[in-house]
Amino acid sequence: MLWKSKVSPLIKELELRKTPIIIRVNKFDEDSAKEFIYQMGLAHNTGQPIIPIVIDSYGGQVYSLMAMISAIKQSELPVATIVEGKAMSCGAILFSFGEEGMRYMDKDATIMIHDVSSGALGKVEELKSSAEEANRLNEKVYQMMARNTGHPDKFYWDMVQEKGRADWFIEAEEAKRLNLANHLRLPKLSMEVKVEMEIC
């Protein structure tokens, strides 16, 4: 993603009190969720008008994703989500939480959606309980994704069932048709520092 700054020639030295925050997401685990929430908080104190979230991830833990989603929902600033390379599993869900019109995806990037994996081990009853929780989370995340992209609640759930619950890889053009991506390009971020003088 291209970052450009323009500083007035009238300014000799520049030191920002608070640097604008760009959040990068590669993992979904407890540590990355804590860091994400911390960065979201910092972004609200820099004076920036929008929070860019750059995603390049194979996915991870769904409960860590939920913590990140909670931080986005509580945000007082709009969030732009940007896919560089890949947004798979949890990354695909997080991508859908960018504001409408602010979801960017590189033309060569890939999104992948699949069922939540419980990864459970143990006794039969424990496995049953884990499977029930995985189904609950599946319905929840697919519903959120559908609502974020303007589809009926069961849209992604039904699509995954039709594909035999296998991994569903989505290229950029299809992502735009599904309204997951609004723009098939990476955005340009720019910052301008200038001096203004006015005599009234």
Q: State pLDDT tens for residues 61-114.
A: 999 999 999 999 999 999 999 999 999 999 999 999 999 999 999 999 999 998
Please tell me the distance from the alpha carbon of residue 91 to that of residue 111, in angstroms, as a whole number: 8
Q: Of all residues in the chain, what percent carry a pLDDT higher than 70?
A: 83
> How high does pLDDT run on average in the chain?
88
3-state helix, strand, coil in the chain (%, to 5): 35, 25, 40
Q: With a cut of 80, say whether residue 180 has pLDDT above it.
A: yes
Amino acid found at 99: E
Total domain count, the chain: 1
pLDDT at 57 over 80: yes
- Domain assignment present for residue 93? The answer is yes
3-class state of residue 51 by DSSP: strand
Whether 185 maps to a domain, the answer reads: yes
Domain that holds residue 36: 21-190
pLDDT of residue 121: 44
Cβ contact 55:87 at 8 Å: yes
Contacts of 96 (CB under 8 A, 6+ apart): 81, 103, 144, 145, 148, 149, 180
Give the residue with greater pLDDT, 16 vs 57.
57
**Type and span of the H or E element at 188:** strand 188-193
CATH number at residue 95: 3.90.226.10
SS3 61: coil
Greatest mean pLDDT among 44-58, 116-130, 131-145: 44-58
pLDDT at 192: 73
Examine residue 7 and state whether it is found in any structural domain, yes or no.
Answer: no
The confidence score (pLDDT) of residue 118 equals 47
**Do the domain assignments include residue 12?**
no
Indicate whether 3 belongs to any domain: no
Portion of the chain with pLDDT greater than 90, in percent: 64
- Position 12 pLDDT exceeds 70: no
pTM of the full predicted structure? 0.85
Beta strands in 14-165 (DSSP E): 23-25, 51-57, 79-88, 103-105, 110-113
* In the predicted structure, residue 120 carries a pLDDT above the cut 50: no
Least confident stretch, 18-27, 179-188, 190-199: 190-199
Instruction: Return all residues near 69 (Cβ < 8 A) that are at least 6 apart.
Output: 93, 94, 97, 144
Say if 101 falls within a structural domain. Answer: yes
Residue 71, in any domain of the structure: yes
Residue 5 pLDDT more than 50? yes
The answer as to whether 15 is a domain residue is no
**pLDDT of 42 above 70:** yes
The dihedral over CA atoms of 169, 67, 39, 21, expressed in degrees to the nearest 10, equals 40
